[in-house]
């Protein structure tokens, strides 16, 4: 099956990795891949032609840190400080969640993400097989994991957790490799050293990626140093070998200069979560410094309990404004850099170098953004208008693996009214 997109602006990637804004060109998709970008006259014949009427085609957004099923807890405990928020608002509801709830919550999350232009997501949550099933059925791309937790070095608590982490990685099977299982450690503070070392060993053997929360709060960062002879979370994880293979670290708000050096050397990624960090008043991650030192940086929404949405366009906007103001320098965090964080850099972090840019041979993970609304005209700079003006609601089409999953308000793979009703039943039970 081949599809040609015509009459559109294309935010493509050139040979040197720089963005190219192409006008009067077409983009052709063959099966799951981008087959052609260029003049219409030289385009191969296509089964279907889509007239985009001036819309912009860009790579789908990569949400490099999420907890999708938390749609069932959207905004719960708003206004509370982190510890009280977790203990009084979040954990009591999470304790009641069933695998079926998680699947429904993830399906609702995917609907929100597809409608807002996200094509690839990193999910960290309980019952990953159910999250994974919702992802497989809806067609989004992403990584899932069994959350690594360990509360004792003497006995395995929770029992069997290490085997569950490995089992998911070994046995999860998606022939399309669209939904992939990886390793996960919740954090330094919710895992013991022997467990961390075993996960590091397993990942060295199986060559997957590791997803982990790092230095989100000052408290967690300081207490780690007290627990581990002055080692920061990054230094401790490095000693345990967890950074030896591809690791991506959410938050990184309190990382220190030495941590940044280690992250660069070990090719670890820092995932920025601007809304969540601001809402929970965790602080400002030194993203500009990380970038300057050559650390890969990506962007995530975190869960909607602390955001309260999965709107990556909002994260782009906020990320740029915060980085500029942390540095008191308007030349920092250019729109191009921010777009890369939210596309190719996130894909790289998740071990998916075959997506995240519009280039021949890459996966056809493409979104179309309408340029029709007043706030999208005039568009003197395409990267700037995407980062500072565009809204998630400007997305009019979302394609993953060459398949259109969302178009002009219609979900092709999700029964949205049924899912809303399912969500409502879950909520009545969970909050009664």
Q: Minimal CB distance to Zn ion: which residue?
A: 302
**CB 370 to Zn ion: min, Å:** 31
Half-sphere exposure of 416 (CA within 13 A, CB side): 12
Phi (first) and psi of residue 259, to 5 degrees? -60, -40
Q: Which is nearer to Zn ion, 86 or 416 (CB)?
A: 86
Per CB under 5 A, contacts with Zn ion among 352-391 are none
Q: Which is nearer to Zn ion, 50 or 251 (CB)?
A: 251
Total site size for Zn ion, rule CB under 5 A = 1
| 216 touching Zn ion, by CB under 5 A | no
Q: What CA–CA distance (Å, rounded) separates 37 from 29? A: 9
Phi (first) and psi of residue 38, to 5 degrees? 165, -155
**CB 72 to Zn ion: min, Å:** 16
Using DSSP, state whether 156 is helix, strand or coil. Answer: coil
**DSSP classification of residue 148:** B
Determine how β-strand 179-181 pairs with β-strand 269-272. Answer: unpaired
Using DSSP, state whether 71 is helix, strand or coil. Answer: helix
**CB 65 to Zn ion: min, Å:** 6
Q: Which is nearer to Zn ion, 122 or 246 (CB)?
A: 122
Q: Which is nearer to Zn ion, 275 or 398 (CB)?
A: 275
Q: Which is nearer to Zn ion, 25 or 250 (CB)?
A: 250
3-state secondary structure 356-414: CCCCCCCECCEEEECCCCHHHCCCCCHHHHHHHCCCHHHEEEEEECCEEEEECCEECCC
Per CB under 5 A, contacts with Zn ion among 283-342 are 302
**CB 294 to Zn ion: min, Å:** 25
Q: Which is nearer to Zn ion, 220 or 302 (CB)?
A: 302
**CB 275 to Zn ion: min, Å:** 12
Binding track over 247-286 against Zn ion, x by CB under 5 A: ----------------------------------------
Distances (CA, A) of 261 to 345, 399, 418: 18, 37, 49
Q: Which is nearer to Zn ion, 200 or 214 (CB)?
A: 214
- For residues 342 and 62, the answer to whether their CB atoms sit within 8 Å is yes
**CB 121 to Zn ion: min, Å:** 12
**CB 48 to Zn ion: min, Å:** 39
Q: What CA–CA distance (Å, rounded) separates 103 from 95? A: 15
- Where along the sequence are the contacts to Zn ion (CB under 5 A)? 302
């Amino acid at each position: 099956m081949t599809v040609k997109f015509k009459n559109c602006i294309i935010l493509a990637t050139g040979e040197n990795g720089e963005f190219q804004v192409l006008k009067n060109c077409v983009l052709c998709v063959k099966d799951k891949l981008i087959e052609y970008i260029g003049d219409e006259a030289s385009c191969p014949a296509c089964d279907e032609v889509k007239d985009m009427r001036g819309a912009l085609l860009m790579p789908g957004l990569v949400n490099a840190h999420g907890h999708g099923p938390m749609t069932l807890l959207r905004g719960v405990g708003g206004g509370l400080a982190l510890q009280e928020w977790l203990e009084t608002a979040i954990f009591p509801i999470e304790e009641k969640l069933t695998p079926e709830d998680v699947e429904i919550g993830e399906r609702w999350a995917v609907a929100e993400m597809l409608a807002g232009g996200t094509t690839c997501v990193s999910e960290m949550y309980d019952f990953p097989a159910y999250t994974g099933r919702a992802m497989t059925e809806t067609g989004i791309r992403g990584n899932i994991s069994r959350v690594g937790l360990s509360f004792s070095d003497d006995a395995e608590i929770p029992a069997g957790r290490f085997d569950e982490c490995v089992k998911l990685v070994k046995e999860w099977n998606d022939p399309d490799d669209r939904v992939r299982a990886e390793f996960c450690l919740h954090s330094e503070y919710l895992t013991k050293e022997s467990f961390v070392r075993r996960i590091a060993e397993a990942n060295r053997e199986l060559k997957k990626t590791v997803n982990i929360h790092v230095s989100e709060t000052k408290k967690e960062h300081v207490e780690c140093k007290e627990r581990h002879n002055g080692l920061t979370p990054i230094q401790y994880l490095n000693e345990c070998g967890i950074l030896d293979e591809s690791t991506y670290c959410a938050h990184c708000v309190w990382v220190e200069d030495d941590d940044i050096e280690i992250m660069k050397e070990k090719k670890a990624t820092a995932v920025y979560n601007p809304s969540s960090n601001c809402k929970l008043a965790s602080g400002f991650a030194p993203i500009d410094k990380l970038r300057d030192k050559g650390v890969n940086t990506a962007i995530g929404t975190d869960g909607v309990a602390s955001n309260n949405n999965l709107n990556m366009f909002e994260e782009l906007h906020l990320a740029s404004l915060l980085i500029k103001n942390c540095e008191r320098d308007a030349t920092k965090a250019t729109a191009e850099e921010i777009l890369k964080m939210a596309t190719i850099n996130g894909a790289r972090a998740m071990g998916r170098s075959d997506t995240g840019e519009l280039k021949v041979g890459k996966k056809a993970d493409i979104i179309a953004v309408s340029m029709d609304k007043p706030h999208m005209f005039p568009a003197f700079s395409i990267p700037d208008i995407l980062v500072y003006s565009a809204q998630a609601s400007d997305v009019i089409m979302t394609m993953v693996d060459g398949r259109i999953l969302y178009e002009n308000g219609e979900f092709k793979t999700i029964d949205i009214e049924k899912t809303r009703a399912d969500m409502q039943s879950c909520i009545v039970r969970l909050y009664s």
